[in-house]
Each structure stands twice: as structure tokens, then as C-alpha cells.
Amino acid sequence: MAIEQLFDTPLHFLQHGISKFGTGNVLLAVLVTATLGILADYAWMLYLRSKMPPGPLPLPIIGNTFQLPDTKPWIYFETLSKKYNTPLITFWIGRNPTVWINDAWTANELLDKRAGIYCSRPRMLVFAELGAGQYNLVNMYTTTPAERDRFRIQRKLMHQGVGIQQVKKYRSFQDDESKVVAYDMLTTPENYVAHFERYATSVVSIIGFGRRVADSNDPIITDVIAVMHRAADLNVPGKSFPMLMETFPILAKVPTEFAPWKHGLGARRTTGRGHDFFYTLAKEANDNPGHDDCYVKMLFKEAPKYNLHPCEISALSGNLFGAGSDTSSSTLITAVLAMRAFPETMNPAWEELDRVVGSDRSPSFDDDANLPYMRAFVKEVFRWRSVAIIGGQPHAPVQDDYYNGWLIPKSTWVQGNVWAIHRNEREFPDPDRFNPNRFIKDSPDARPFPGERGYMTFGWGRRVCSGQALAEQGTWLTIARLVWGFRVGPAFDASGKPIPVDIFDYTNGLNMRPQPFKVTFTPRSEAIRETIIREGKQALSDLAQFNGETKYRMSTFYKKQAAS
């Protein structure tokens, strides 16, 4: 007789089994089976660990997750690299190993020279699966031909917006927006952070949507910056929710409404037609007359050719802000911190600027070749406190790879520790000292470094930041203009004492920036002050063609969609 004929239902079978063998025996069997499974899994982890780069011993199931520090894990991984005397460290997030690269030459070998292998992304539960997903270029896998084709299409479209040659066309309004920053500094220097955020957001808004952001209180600034900060937080390994879901992915399967640890991730944030905020913003700009050369109009024009999904248009449009708003403004804030903390670096810059530029005009893009110290100054800003401190999202090899005899398995998280790379004493002696001479040719302070730029701020290989050229172009000009125009001095407390600044007091997100600090901005001369005013007024007049408003606000958009 078949066993299914002996018992009417699975429940009947279970009850009969428990009564026959006893509850204790069944539980013991379950416990033994589970223990053997855990031991077998742990044996596999230890076997893999023996072949991979060194690192702390992982525990079963949880790996090294709870050894993570509460903040700034990149410092911890730098310490581990020194402890094990190796450029590569393996650290287990749950059952998944992450390889951390802490050396410039190793990063160059793996992520640049072997870019074809390290071109994909690993599974990112929190940031990708519960967030932007595979419609976003930032997260895309490239393990299959179809995935690689889609990646190339989006990468091509992104280059049409902010590629090296394309960004040269933006120099005119980028220059004008930079002049407005200097002009605003004369009246409200205490709001320098807001001025930088307005500038950076406005530049990418003109590029993307044909509309500038004229007011530092424009909601799109605070909304977008807040989203970028949140996204940056979701890329930092953590031992608390929501990042703890990377260690225990089963927790992500609980419906969002019953899972407070998701922090709202995984919720449906689209309209009934599948359109979200950035798509709606792009559609609005596409429907508005004028500015036919803006990026979103190109996307809508090319959409049928490339079969673009609305979510892809949304992601490409939104990525402009990610590539150019938060990161660029954070870099400018770091530049001000360096000016305040290392005033001795300003004298060579002023001498060069006074000799080449004078006081009747501010620096322009054409001055770049004649301002080698200013170029070195900006490079040192990028090196000293890089914004994308762990090099952006992790890479993942599309096949097993070996480096110095160590195995790096297919799909492993591979993360570049830019903090450690830019603080290696071999390339950058006394790394916390801001020293532009590191980037002066034939200077005693210069050291060999892979790549012509001398820093790795924008990532590597096929996953290098799409907005690199735009950021480098605008950052150089704006810093040069600020150095030319102002002396950055200490602010004073109520008793008249200078308020110190802390060069280590930075935020904890992937895109780090200095915590708020106070300084003063003073025009270097009356002639320079008059030039700033004259150029600022003219810039506002030139930028008037981009004035306009949007009826959408991110802070209310999804609430309205949910209510409708």
C-alpha cells in the first residue's frame, strides 16, 4: 500500500510520526539536522577562507558582521590591512565574503587593468533589490550578454549627457553659476554650504531639465540632497538595520508593512502607471517648450530606439543629481575646510593667481594650463578627503579570479577603500596634511602613483563615476575662483576666541562630507570685491534664460500618489 494511502493528510502523517517517535525525538532529529547543516556550511566558509586573502576568522552564519565598528568602517579596514600587512582583506558579511582593496597599485591591477572581469555588481539586497533595482545603471549586473548590452546602452546614454566631450559644452553656464556662488558669498558667507548645494544642483538641473535652481531654499535641493545622503548611508556595511538584512536576507522577505526594520525600503513608490518622481520631473521638462538640447529631451527622443522603460528614464535622470549635486557640493565644503586648516597653502596660490589672472577678472577655464599650483591644489582636495570614500558601489568579478595566489570567487563583493588608498604613507607621506606640492611635477613631495590623475576619487574601470569630467571641470573653476576672491579665516565665539575646526569630523555615509563648521570669507581686495559684484550681476543676467519652476516636490509627490 502506498504511503499516501496510509495517511489522509500531511498533518495526519506528521501527528502519527510524532506520536510514534515522540516529540523529543523529532525535535532532536531536527536539531541534529540543523546542526549538521550549519557545520557543513561553516566548513565551506573556512575552506573558502583558506584560499582567499587574509582577514579575521568568521563565525558561522553571521561571519564578521558584528566586528564592524559603529561608524566609518573604512578606517577599520585600513587598520586590518596594516595588521595583516596585505593590500587585500577578506571580511565576511554573514555568509558572503567581501574583499577590501587598500592599496592603489592593487586597485589599479584588479579594477582598471582587469576591468572586463570586475565590471559587474554583486547582489546588493538593501541598496539595489529593495531600492532602485536593475533599471539603474549604478546597480546593473553584467554577467550575461543581455545584461551587458543593457549596461552599454545606459552607459552610452549617460555619456551623451556628461561625457568628457559633452561637458565642455556646459562651461558657459557652469562658469556663470560659479560666479553667482562668489557673488552670494559677499552677502551671506555664513550660508556657504547652501550656496554650494544650490550651485551644484543648479548645474545638473540645467543639463538635465533645462531649468536652473535659483534659490538655495528651492525644495528640490533639500529633497535631492536628503535622498542622496540616504542612498549613501545604504552603501556602508553595518551591523544594525536596515544593513543587517545583508547578513540575514531572509528578513527582507517579510512584507514591508510588517517589517519596521526595512525602514520603508521595498515599498511601492510609483504611480499606477509605474512612474516615479524623477520620471515625472523629466516628463514635465520634456513637455515644456524650449531648451531642446537638455538631457531628458534626448532621452525621450531616443526611448523608442533603445526601448527605454520609464524606470530607466527615471534612473538616468535621477543619476544626474547623484553624479553632480551632493558629491560636488561636499567636495567644495572640504576645500573650504582645507583653506581654513592649512592657510600656508594659500600663499603660493595667491601669488600664481595674481600673476596670471589679476584682480580685474576672475579665473576662467582658459587659465587652467597657466595655473599649475591651482591645479595641484584641486587635486589635493580630491585626494585629501575623497567624497566617495569607499569608491562607490562594490564591484563583482564575472568569473573566479586570482591575485598573488589568492582566490577572489565569482560574484564576490570587491570594495575599494579610497580612505586607505589615499592615506598610504608610501604614496602620500604625512597623509592628513593638506599639501598641494604632492601634485607638482618634480616636487620633492611627489611620489609615483598609478594613473595620470594621481587620485582614485571617482572609482575604476567600467564602473567609474559617469559624472567625473563634469565634477572635475566645475570643481577646479569654483575652487580657483574662491581662492582668488577670498581669504578664509576663523570664526569667533562670544568671547572673541577663534573657533577651531576638526579635519577628522566627517559624516559616516558613503559620500562623506565635513560636519558643519564655521569660517569667515573676506574679499582679498576692494578691486576683487568689485569684480565679483560685476561678474555676478552679469552671470545672473546670462542665466535668466534658464529660469523656471516645477510644480512637483519630492517631499509631497509620493504622499499625493498614495492618496489618489
Q: Following DSSP, what letter does each residue of 401-431 receive, concatenated?
A: EEETTEEE-TT-EEEE-HHHHTT-TTTSSST
- What is residue 270's predicted lDDT score, i.e. its pLDDT? 45
Quote the CA–CA distance of 242 and 263 in Å, as a whole number.
Answer: 7
Residue pair 535/363 in contact (Cβ under 8 Å)? The answer is: no
Q: For residue 2, name the pLDDT band (cuts at 50, 70, 90).
A: very low
Q: Is the pLDDT of residue 177 over 90?
A: yes
Share of the chain above pLDDT 70, in %: 93
What's the pLDDT score for residue 25?
Answer: 81
**Residues 79-100: what's their mean pLDDT?**
97
Do 466 and 159 form a contact (C-beta atoms < 8 A)? Answer: yes
Q: Which amino acid makes up residue 277?
A: F
Task: Return the closest-CA partner of residue 93 out of 35, 22, 45.
Answer: 45
User: pLDDT-based confidence at 539, cuts 50/70/90?
Assistant: very high
pLDDT tens for 435-470 read 999 999 999 999 999 999 999 999 999 999 999 999
Name the nearest CA neighbour of 180 among 144, 148, 206, 142. Answer: 206
pLDDT digits over 227-244, tens only? 777 777 777 888 888 889
Q: How far is residue 548 from each of residues 178, 179, 218, measured CA to CA in Å?
A: 19, 20, 12
User: How far is it, in rounded angstroms, from Cα 390 to Cα 512?
Assistant: 10
Question: What integer pLDDT is reported at residue 325 of this predicted model?
Answer: 76
Q: 467 lies in which domain range?
A: 145-563
**Does residue 519 lie within any of the structural domains?**
yes
Q: Give the pLDDT confidence score for residue 404 in this predicted structure.
A: 96
Residue 520 sits in a domain whose CATH number is: 1.10.630.10
Q: How many CA atoms lie within 13 A of 68 on its CB side?
A: 24
**Considering the domain boundaries, does residue 117 fall inside one?**
no
311 is in an annotated binding site: no
Instruction: Quote the CA–CA distance of 529 and 532 in Å, as a whole number.
Output: 5
**107 found inside a domain:** no
pLDDT of residue 272: 38
Amino acid residing at 24: G
pLDDT at 75: 97
Asked if residue 93 is part of any domain, the answer here is no
* Cα radius of gyration (the chain): 27
pLDDT score, position 34? 84
Determine contact, residues 160/300, Cβ cutoff 8 Å: no
pLDDT at 495 over 80: yes
User: Which of 93-102, 137-146, 216-225 shows the lowest mean pLDDT across its residues?
Assistant: 216-225
Provide the mean pLDDT of the chain. Answer: 91
- The arithmetic mean of pLDDT across residues 124-129, rounded, is 90
In a domain, 136, yes or no: no
- Does the structure show a pLDDT above 50 at 273? no
- Backbone phi and psi for residue 450, each to the nearest 5 degrees, phi listed first: -70, 140
Q: Is the pLDDT of residue 271 over 60?
A: no
Burial class (CB in 10 A: 0-12, 13-18, 19+), 230: middle
Number of domains in the chain: 1
Written as nine digits, the cell of 467 is 559624472
Q: Band of the pLDDT at 83, cuts 50, 70, 90?
A: very high
Query: Residue 496: left (phi > 0), alpha (psi -120 to 50), or beta?
Result: left
CA atoms within 13 A on the CB side of 295: 33
Q: How confident is the model at residue 14 (pLDDT cuts 50, 70, 90)?
A: very low
| Average pLDDT score over residue span 395-401 | 98
Backbone angles phi, psi at 28, to 5 degrees: -65, -40
Cα 137 to the center of its chain, rounded Å: 13
459 falls within a domain: yes
Structural domain contains residue 533 = yes
Which stretches of 423-494 are DSSP H helices? 468-485
Over 90: is that where the pLDDT of 562 sits? no
Residues in the chain: 564
Helical H segments across 139-276, by residue range: 145-162, 171-187, 192-209, 219-233
pLDDT higher at 151 or 557 = 151
What is the arithmetic mean of pLDDT over 373-396?
A: 96
Q: What is the DSSP string of 309-366?
A: -HHHHHHHHHHHHHHHTHHHHHHHHHHHHHHHH-GGGHHHHHHHHHHHT-SSS---GG
Cell of 312: 530607466
What's the CA gap between 358 and 532, in Å, rounded?
13
Residue 75 lies in a domain: no
